[in-house]
Amino acid sequence: MKVTTEKRPGSVLALDIELEKDQVEKGLDRAARRLSQKHTIPGFRKGKAPRFIIEHYFGREALMEEASEDLIKRGFQQALEQESIHPVGPANLETVEPSDQFRFRITVPVSPTVTLPDYRAIRLPFERPDVTDEMVDRAMNRLRDKHVVLKELEEPRPARAGDQLTLKMQTLVDGELLEQPNEDGELPETTLVLDPDRLVDELYAGLVGINLHERREIPAHIPDDHANAEVRGKDVVFNIEVTAIQERLLPDWEELPTLEEFDGTLEALRMKTRQEMETAAQQYAEQKVFEGFVEQLVAQTEYDIPAVLIQEMAQQILHEHARQFSEYGVTLEHMLNYRNQTMEEAAEELLPEAERQLKIRLALQSVIEQEQFTITEEEIEAEIQQIVHNYTVEERESAIKILHDQLRSTVVSGLLERKLRERVLAIAAGVSSALEIPDHHTSQEETQVPQDTTVIRNPDAVPDDTPLVADTVVGDTAPKS
């Protein structure tokens, strides 16, 4: 059998396959047997007519037509084995020339081609945000606010600093309403805490001293760094009607450690909070470097990706969206009906994002192969012990067995992701040891990382274990209204 291959764009391989004469003859023999079993030939029982009778009865053209599908299937499979070709999607038959030298052309998508740039030359600054005393103060205040008790006023009085107000508020920007009324034509109620650190200056000043059911019109200029882009840097007018005033009773500072179930003093809790914020600041800075590295890596990498892989990734994203919606009781069908889309239209809409995610995954997997990472059995064991550290004694034995068996690949992926991040940070910082070409020989105690290991679940996401107080490093979690 003669096979000629031609590489086409999009990681598509065209195979021109020409069968040997004896292959064709065997195919015709099989086709004759099938026809004799399906049809009654005068003078013969079903399945007993010889080939020359079948060919004479039906004609060679009909016999060749019956044989074609079988010849193509067998010839294609043999060609894949002969040329060591591994398709990643369905084949497409382009042309067929039935004859004694049976020829056909078939195309198949094959594994994508990824050509990495000189990624070891990528440099990025490491900029860790400072954790100031003011940030720690705000974080501690938020911890204290978690345990606030709201008390109804015993006697009506004007609002004062520290109170919580329930109000109806219209925000006008250039004379246009920012909020839309509900179905009853009423504005939804909102709550604000009378705290100068949480409200723009004019709004805070305008609310102090307001009475229950009083209405006020409060003009204000919104700062340029406000969280809401719709009002950022603009002059606005707040139309306010207060519907409730409550006193906020905060616990004494000395009670806070107990309320937070912290075994230590208030100062120790503050120190722990600072340490968590500094850890979060470090993780935030590392994540920014990693994201910047990935962005440059993907932009400089050359790809040849079959369309079928991008389509499969779009389907995966769509089903992940469906899984997320299902947590709120919304099915994929409901989601598609709401968007007035078919499944195919929704998947097609996701193709750009699917291509982006696939490019990230392919580039990072290529870096892993280039860096020749390996995972030792000792590292796997240490990681498993770390995972089960907080399990009860009774739970550990079962958990360790599951991690060793069914979830071993997950443990390896976690270790691999950590090594990749460490290497990327070292490369971006220009650490000399990370810039050397790997010369690694796998020992018997090392596990070679499978090439298809998925290491980055979501390269854009902050690590799952980043403390929530990271937000206080990046910016105040309670932006001014």
pLDDT interval class at 466 (50, 70, 90)? very low
> What does the buried/exposed string (b/e) look like for 60-71 if buried means 16 or more CB atoms within 10 Å of the residue's CB?
eeebbebbbeeb
> What's residue 393's pLDDT?
84
Q: How wide is the angle at C-alpha 239 spanned by C-alphas 235 and 243, nearest 5°?
A: 145
DSSP run (H or E) holding 16? strand 12-18
> What's residue 470's pLDDT?
32
> What's residue 444's pLDDT?
40
pLDDT in tens, 33-46: 888 888 877 767 77
pLDDT at 176 over 70: yes
Whether 451 and 365 have beta carbons less than 8 Å apart is answered as: yes
| Mean pLDDT (whole number) for 237-258 | 94
pLDDT at 149 over 50: yes
pTM of the model: 0.75
When comparing pLDDT for 481 and 361, which is higher? Answer: 361
DSSP states of 160-213: -TT-EEEEEEEEEETTEESS---TTSPPPEEEEE--TTTS-HHHHHHHTTPPTT
Beta bridge partners of 172: 177, 237
> What's residue 476's pLDDT?
38
* CA separation for the pair 114, 191 (Å, rounded): 53
Whether 416 and 373 have beta carbons less than 8 Å apart is answered as: yes
| Mean pLDDT (whole number) for 415-442 | 82
pLDDT interval class at 439 (50, 70, 90)? low
| Mean pLDDT (whole number) for 366-378 | 92
pLDDT at 73 over 70: yes
> What's residue 458's pLDDT?
41
Which tokens is 206 given?
């305008």
> What's residue 464's pLDDT?
36
Whether 92 and 105 have beta carbons less than 8 Å apart is answered as: no
| Mean pLDDT (whole number) for 118-136 | 94
Domain 148-249 annotated CATH 3.10.50.40: yes
* CA separation for the pair 161, 209 (Å, rounded): 9
> What's residue 25's pLDDT?
87
Compute the half-sphere exposure of residue 475: CA atoms within 13 Å on the CB side of its CA.
Answer: 7
pLDDT interval class at 477 (50, 70, 90)? very low
* 3-state secondary structure at position 423: helix
CATH fold of 2-111 reads: Alpha-Beta Plaits (3.30.70)
Domain 266-474 annotated CATH 1.10.3120: yes
Which tokens is 63 given?
């016999």
Per-domain boundaries in the chain: 2-111, 148-249, 266-474
* CA separation for the pair 274, 96 (Å, rounded): 72
> What's residue 178's pLDDT?
79
When comparing pLDDT for 388 and 435, which is higher? Answer: 388
* Length of the chain in terms of residues written: 481
| Mean pLDDT (whole number) for 19-30 | 89
> What's residue 177's pLDDT?
82
For helices 266-300 and 351-371, the axis angle rounded to 10 degrees is 100
Proportion of the chain in helix, strand, coil states, percent, rounded to 5: 45, 15, 35
> What does the buried/exposed string (b/e) look like for 339-367 if buried means 16 or more CB atoms within 10 Å of the residue's CB?
eeeeeeebbeebeeebbebbbbbbbbbbb
When comparing pLDDT for 28 and 313, which is higher? Answer: 313
* 3-state secondary structure at position 373: coil
Average pLDDT, the chain: 86
pLDDT interval class at 437 (50, 70, 90)? low
Is 91 buried (19+), middle (13-18) or exposed (0-12) by CB count in 10 A?
Answer: middle
pLDDT at 383 over 80: yes
How large a percentage of the chain has pLDDT more than 90?
Answer: 63
